[in-house]
Amino acid sequence: MTNKHLFSSYQLLPNTWDEMYSETSNIRSQYEIINDYLKSTSAKVLYKKEELSRHLFMSQGVTFTVYNDKEGVEKIFPFDIVPRIIKASE
């Protein structure tokens, strides 16, 4: 199973920079390979990769402490498994 329609309902926000899409809703050239990968990879595999990343962050100590949070003290740094690619010229 693939994600061929992964971005079919994605909406660009007006007056907002989008790293992956241009103002005309075209994929930026630096994201073509990632876009192809995301569309050819199942949601299950992407979820597993995200969970693995979370576990690795926690086990390697890529965390910060929140002393006033009732859910727990140690948290992993927020991250996205889809990288932001910005050309040197930008």
15 and 32, same structural domain? yes
Give residue 22's domain range. Answer: 1-41
Tell me whether residue 87 is in a domain.
no
Q: How far is residue 18's CA from residue 84's CA, in Å, rounded to a whole number?
A: 10
Q: Are 47 and 7 in contact (CB under 8 A)?
A: no
Dihedral in degrees, nearest 10, Cα atoms 24, 30, 33, 38: -60
At residue 11, does pLDDT exceed 60?
Answer: yes
Chain mean pLDDT for the chain: 86
Residues 56 and 68 in one domain: yes
Q: What is the pTM of this model?
A: 0.70
CA distance 64 to 77: 7
Q: What pLDDT does residue 1 have? A: 57
